[in-house]
Amino acid sequence: MNTDNTAPRWPLWLITIGLLFVVAGVLLPIVGLRDGAYRWIYAAGALMCLVGRLFNRVSDDLPLRVKRLVRLESWSAIFFCVAAFFMFWPGAGATDWLAFTLAGGGILIYTSLMIPRAMRKG
């Protein structure tokens, strides 16, 4: 979440495109594409999310709880990157990368619900 009007917009665009790549990387094996391209799509999306989260700045005038929730969003990108690692590791099964993907998605759902709530409370 970037609420500073002077901050650059490219991290938000990178996060959005990265999340779309992550979704595509998860859906491609479900629809039947199992040639391995989905791994690279997922990994590229996870890396884009991580870079976008690292460069996303938060305004200093926000409440402390909102700042912490925005920092928590960075962990979702880290979980996606760990899931991408397990996609390429030969000793891992499908449940390994799916577990980390679900953990990252759960964090995103939680923060997307709690950030607006914390902003309203101030």
Residues 16-41: tens digit of each pLDDT:
999 999 999 999 988 988 788 999 99
Please list, in sequence order, all residues whose beta carbon lies within 8 angstroms of the beta carbon of residue 42, skipping any fewer than 6 positions away.
21, 22, 24, 25, 26, 80, 83, 84, 87
The three-class DSSP label of residue 67 is helix
Task: Return the CA Rg of the chain.
Answer: 15
pLDDT tens digits for range 60-107: 888 999 999 999 999 999 999 999 999 999 999 889 999 999 999 999
Handedness of CA 80, 84, 90, 94 (dihedral sign): positive
